[in-house]
Structure 1
């Protein structure tokens, strides 16, 4: 019976996902697709090396593996603020170091194989911690994602950071194997690392793919302040904070911005001409919420109004109030109201007396 090695099955799966993303023609997904292409290449290289003992690709494997942590960091940090190409150049250093070690080993004197694994481990550990630092800013830190998806995107950053750290530990194990047993057990260790990489990719695609608006959303207000290293601390609100919250409230209500499912903190800041950090901080201090929770509150109120005053089907109410997925709509509605939208319409909360339309999904 013909069997396909697991790495090639994984590579085929990733390739299908990559093609599907490319078909969306969304520029905001380019970093996701680049990261996915690197993962697909790495899994394919591992399959060629360990399934067919094709050692001609052994130099490419650590180089591609070293690309993943910087690419993951670029992907998430790009959701916080825009950067030009020159600012990204220092993140090529781990790849350059690995390539230099491999070149020295080939052209000059033999270099201990563990040195490459130590560089990989340092890169994975360092960028894993960097992703956790990005996540520490909270959902409002990812200003370029849809507000409705900012919480899942923040969780994706946390999980991705932890997975990179675990991958760094795997590289340390590989280095130890080469030092103690000359790599006798490297193959199963690397196979486990591939599963970790696949898990990382699955999280990035599942959460960030749906969290990004159809077009790149990196333009920022001219007076935008630098992003903070952590979440905005809750403190006594100032008069300026209250003015900002009042201005945001007027803007959202008068222009019904909550009905835009693609609304991001960046877009809200541009429309209000107020830096993202000032909006996030003011909302946090005055209301004790993040901006995503604030906007969802307007959406829930609009959904309640539509359920009371119209006979629109629940799905139509969901879209009209600014939600994109039924699961998110039901979850937020249940959290805010204590019952599902259908139960709300059936109950006395939906309106007084007769005339309430039957629930239609």
Structure 2
């Protein structure tokens, strides 16, 4: 009977994700980064199957390069969801290539120390991702507001999984030193299972990333075709901002949302809202959170729910069509937010409103 290692099964699943993402590459600003990340995961899982399924040790140097690369690429991918402009600026980001260079040198000069570098890389970039996640959803300002909660959870998950990889590498190192690698094959094989969950999050992020189109300039930087967000230059310390100022800002924002119906834009993200409203992203996020005790995504979705309620009562059109008209892109998110705001599903709300009063 033909033996097919588990990593090869995961490799096949990753190839499917890669193919679907490749088909969307023209419409996804960050698709190249995510394609590179998932390609690295795909190669890594295939090499694990070759090494531990068939005992071919010649692939170990490539495995080491992959292990270092996917931590770096995971950081760059998530960071790209926090900025408008170039995903990578080489004159600043070249430092992220140093761990890969160090691994290549260690392969040639000090192969016994490779595991230490891999562990250190996982811990360092896991920490960077965790630090980014702790900034809150407002940090992911180029992600559509409808998906920002899922993306934020994916950010946390990726950070923790990188940390888990570091722990597993330590356990494997101890197993090899004490037990001669008796459990290494099983540990390495099942270490790929959390990775596939991370990839699921990454693929989701890639398919729902920034809607804007990038334009590359001669100096290697990039800007958006739309009006650039000036929040980076306008943001100031808000520690001394009083509640009355926040309330005034939210009142202005309420009026703006009612007049423009910007919430109906399915591609709306925090960066676009800030540009249209003319207020920095962090200031909007802080004011909404302070005054309404909700995040910006929930704030916008509340307007969508209100608009949907009006249409459900006045229109006989299918619910799925009405949800698109009010800015919801997916049925699951619509049902979740509608339940959060009204305590009912859209169909229950329509049925209740149309019952004859006694």
- The answer to whether the superposition gives a TM-score over 0.5 is yes
Q: Where does residue 146 of structure 2 map in the other structure?
A: 148
1:1-33 superposed Cα distances (whole Å, 9 cap, x missing partner): 334332222112111110111101323322221
Larger CA deviation: 185-194 vs 57-66? 185-194
* Match 2:94 to one of 89, 92, 109: 89
Q: How many Å separate the matches in 2 of 1:233 and 1:297?
A: 27
Contact 2:38–2:199 (8 Å) recurs in 1: yes
Question: Any conservation in 1 of the 2:30–2:77 contact (CA below 8 Å)?
Answer: no
RMSD: 2.6
CA spacing shift, 1:55–1:233, aligned 2, 3 Å:
farther
Shift of 1:213: 4.2
> Post-superposition shift, 1:184?
4.2
Cα distance change, pair 155–183 in 1 and its aligned pair in 2 (3 A):
same
1:148 match: secondary structure: coil
Aligned to 1:222: 230
Give the alignment of 1:98-137 within 5 angstroms: 98-105=103-110, 111=111, 113=112, 115-137=113-135
In structure 2, the residue corresponding to 1:93 is in which secondary structure?
A: helix
Q: Distance in 2 between matches of 1:116 and 1:253?
A: 58
Partner residue of 1:212?
209
Compared CA separation, residues 44 and 178, structure 1 to 2 (3 A): same
Matched with 2:177 is 179
Q: Choose from 69, 85, 93 the match for 1:67.
A: 69
Could you tell me which of 24, 28, 31 is aligned with 1:29? 31
SS, match of residue 64 in structure 1: helix
Higher mean displacement: 50-59 or 261-270:
50-59
Contact 1:117 / 1:174 at 8 angstroms: preserved in 2?
A: no
TM-score norm. by structure 1 comes to 0.86
Distance 1:210-1:59 versus aligned 2 partners, 3 A rule: closer
Matched, 1:297 2:328: no
In the alignment, which of 191, 194, 197 is matched to residue 196 of structure 1?
194
Q: Which runs of 5+ in 1 are unaligned?
A: 106-110, 355-361
Report how far residue 194 of structure 1 moved: 1.9
Alignment equivalent of 1:77, drawn from 76, 79, 92? 79
1:94 CA drift (Å): 1.9
Answer 1 or 2: higher relative contact order, Cα 8 Å, separation at least 6.
2
In the TM superposition, what is the alpha-carbon distance from 1:214 to its structure 2 partner?
A: 4.1
TM-score normalized by structure 2?
0.87
For the 8 Å contact 1:235–1:285, the answer to whether it is kept is no
- For residues 130 and 234 of structure 1, the distance between their equivalents in structure 2, rounded to whole angstroms, comes to 28
Q: Distance in 2 between matches of 1:201 and 1:182?
A: 31
Q: Is 1:325 the equivalent of 2:333? A: no
Query: Structure 1 residues 46, 216: closer, same or farther in 2, change over 3 A?
Result: farther
| Structure 2: stretches of 5+ with no match in the other structure | 215-222
Deviations 1:216-235 (A, max 9, x none): 5875512425999xxx9898
